[in-house]
């Protein structure tokens, strides 16, 4: 028996689901969002480093002050395995650090104000399509409920279960990094304005370590790895890295968190009759840094818009909905492709190659170029400029050949 009905169901109350719901409801569509956890913003499972340009494009520069932990980030300090440092910086702040639990809960309040019906403790177990409608089967404390809708946006995050019900792919399980992050106090020698990156394949195989400052003494210290348990690898990194061990020698862990990030890039198809997929569930996450809130958010706004047009035109065909994929690919597919290549290339380097690369990049002219053209959301811009730098060619050719031969 069907218990309720709405135009659009959004499955998942993370940023991608919430921003899809907000976007569709702004266009006058009836939206119900279903979240399996008992509260939106259940815990902080993310570093919350978000570019100011990205926030601006999502109309989110008016976040309440209690959610924004640091507004001063304007550059990165990047450390080699042996501790050589490259600093890239802008003159103005380029990113904010937000409390992700608070961020999600703020988006959920915005959605409710716009009329979105949010139902927590509502895991969608299955979705069935009949006669151009969808039937959502929910499990809630051992009882089962059914909701009918015209459209669904699937935003289940990194391990989606529902994509396959519509013959849509899911992000590859072979390209997941497992992340661990500690909030630490008493951190020495950090600056509010600089994120720190630790590129060291022997201690952090497959990704990198980070310090994201909240203020001059508190920071989010984390990493991602291919083989869990990530928290053990993080403890080891803190003990062994020549720079990190000094900065954290008397620091205290206030809180621990963990999560997983799909870094294999986007799935090959993100739409089907009556269905769109957004966010981590669609692999719209940057393979280089693991950031998924901004690209997932941009895709979510497009998904909300295209869904509302489908509902107004009563056309839920995959042909009509393919507009969603065209639009998000135009926005950031090229960047995701470049970032995937860069991530795979970086992962193929031994520590000695990383040291050599640092040596080559640590020249005033190159650092100036990286500072000028580096952009966390548009990484293709700086990658193309570096690839065409003649001084880097011998190194890139040598390690590039090695990378290609390993790949095949």
Ligand X SMILES: Cc1cc2nc3c(=O)[nH]c(=O)nc-3n(C[C@H](O)[C@H](O)[C@H](O)COP(=O)(O)OP(=O)(O)OC[C@H]3O[C@@H](n4cnc5c(N)ncnc54)[C@H](O)[C@@H]3O)c2cc1C
- Residues of the shown chain interacting with ligand X in the complex, contacts defined by CB under 6 A: 11-17, 34-37, 45-50, 123-124, 155-158, 161, 179, 181, 222, 259-261, 279-281, 285, 290-294, 296
Which CB, 244 or 386, lies closer to ligand X? 244
Which residue in 352, 363, 351, 407 sits closest to 389, CA to CA? 363
* Pick 48 or 287: Cβ nearer ligand X: 48
Please provide residue 369's backbone torsions phi and psi, each rounded to the nearest 5 degrees.
-65, -45
Query: Minimal distance in Å, beta carbon 178 to ligand X?
Result: 8
Closer Cβ to ligand X, 347 or 348, answer by number:
347
CB of 61 to ligand X, least distance (A): 16
Q: Which of 218, 232, 21 is nearest to 113 (CA)?
A: 21
- Could you tell me which of 20, 21, 3, 15 has the C-alpha nearest to residue 117? 21
Tokens of 337: 């492709």
CA distance 367 to 246: 26
Identify which of residues 119 and 353 has a Cβ nearer to ligand X in the complex.
119
**Which CB, 284 or 399, lies closer to ligand X?**
284
Closest listed residue to residue 220, CA positions, set 251, 263, 261: 251
Give the relative orientation of helices 393-407 and 351-361 as an angle to the nearest 10 degrees: 150
Q: Least separation, in Å, of the C-beta of 288 and ligand X?
A: 12
Non-local CB neighbours of 36 within 8 Å, separated by 6+ positions:
121, 122, 123, 124
286 vs 223: CA distance, rounded Å:
15
* Residue 198 in tokens: 């630790």
CB of 138 to ligand X, least distance (A): 8
For the chain, the C-alpha Rg in angstroms (whole number) is: 22
Strand partners, 140: 143
Minimum gap (Å) between residue 5 Cβ and ligand X: 18
For the bound state, the minimum distance from the C-beta of residue 35 to ligand X, rounded and expressed in Å, comes to 5
Instruction: Closer to ligand X by CB, 155 or 339: give it.
Output: 155
Nearer to ligand X, 123 or 402 (CB): 123
How many whole angstroms from its chain centre is CA 268? 18
**DSSP-assigned beta bridge partners for residue 184:** 219, 253
Task: Give CA–CA dist 280/286, Å, rounded.
Answer: 10
Please, where are the H alpha helices in 123-180? none
Smallest distance from ligand X to CB 33, Å: 9
Nearer to ligand X, 58 or 179 (CB): 179
Compare residues 332 and 403 and give the one whose CB is closer to ligand X.
332
Determine contact, residues 164/173, Cβ cutoff 8 Å: no
Which residue bears the tokens 């072979």?
A: 174
Q: Whole-number minimum distance, CB 321 to ligand X, in Å?
A: 19
Residue with Cβ nearer ligand X (14 or 206): 14
Q: How far apart are alpha carbons 210 and 90 in whole angstroms?
A: 19
Q: State whether residue 261 is helix, strand or coil.
A: strand
- Closest approach, Cβ 223 to ligand X, in A, equals 9
- In angstroms, the CA 235 to CA 286 distance is 25
Q: At what angle do helices 351-361 and 364-373 cross, to 10 degrees?
A: 90
Give whichever of 161 and 349 is closer to ligand X, judged by the CB atom: 161
Least separation, in Å, of the C-beta of 210 and ligand X?
8
Closest contact distance (angstroms) between CB of 121 and ligand X is 9
DSSP run (H or E) holding 390 = none
């Amino acid at each position: 028996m069907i218990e309720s009905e709405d135009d659009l169901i959004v499955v998942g109350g993370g940023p991608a689901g919430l921003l899809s719901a907000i976007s569709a409801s702004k266009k006058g569509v009836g939206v119900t969002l279903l979240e399996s956890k008992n509260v939106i913003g259940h815990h902080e499972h993310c570093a919350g480093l978000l570019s100011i340009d990205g926030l601006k494009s999502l109309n989110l520069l008016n976040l309440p002050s209690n959610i924004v932990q640091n507004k001063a980030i304007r550059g990165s300090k990047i450390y080699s395995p042996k501790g050589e440092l490259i600093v890239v910086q802008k003159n103005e702040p380029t990113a904010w650090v937000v409390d992700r639990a608070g961020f999600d809960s703020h988006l959920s309040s915005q959605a409710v104000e716009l009329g979105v019906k949010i139902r927590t403790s509502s895991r969608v177990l299955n979705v069935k399509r009949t006669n151009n409608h969808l039937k959502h089967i929910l499990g809630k404390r051992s009882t089962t409920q059914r909701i009918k809708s015209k459209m669904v946006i699937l935003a289940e995050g990194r391990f989606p279960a529902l994509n396959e019900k519509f013959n849509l792919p899911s992000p590859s399980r072979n390209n997941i990094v497992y992340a661990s992050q500690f909030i630490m106090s008493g951190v020495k020698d950090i600056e509010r304005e600089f994120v720190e990156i630790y590129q060291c394949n022997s201690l952090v195989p497959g990704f990198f370590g980070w310090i994201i400052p909240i203020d001059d003494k508190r920071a989010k210290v984390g990493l991602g790895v291919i083989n869990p348990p990530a928290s053990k690898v993080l403890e080891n990194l803190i003990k062994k890295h020549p720079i990190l061990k000094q900065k954290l020698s008397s620091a205290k862990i206030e809180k621990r968190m963990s999560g997983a990030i799909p870094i294999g890039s986007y799935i090959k198809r993100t739409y089907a009759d009556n269905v769109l997929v957004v966010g981590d569930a669609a692999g719209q996450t940057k393979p280089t840094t693991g950031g998924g809130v901004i690209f997932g958010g941009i895709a979510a706004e497009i998904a909300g818009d295209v869904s509302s047009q489908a509902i107004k035109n009563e056309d839920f065909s995959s042909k009509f909905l393919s507009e969603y994929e065209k639009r998000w690919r135009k926005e950031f597919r090229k960047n995701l492709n470049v970032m995937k290549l860069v991530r795979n290339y970086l992962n193929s380097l031994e520590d000695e190659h990383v040291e050599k690369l640092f040596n080559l990049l640590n020249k005033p002219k190159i650092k100036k170029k990286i500072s000028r053209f580096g952009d966390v959301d548009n990484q293709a811009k700086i990658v193309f400029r570096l690839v065409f730098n003649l001084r880097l060619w011998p190194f890139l050719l040598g390690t590039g050949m090695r990378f290609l031969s390993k790949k095949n």
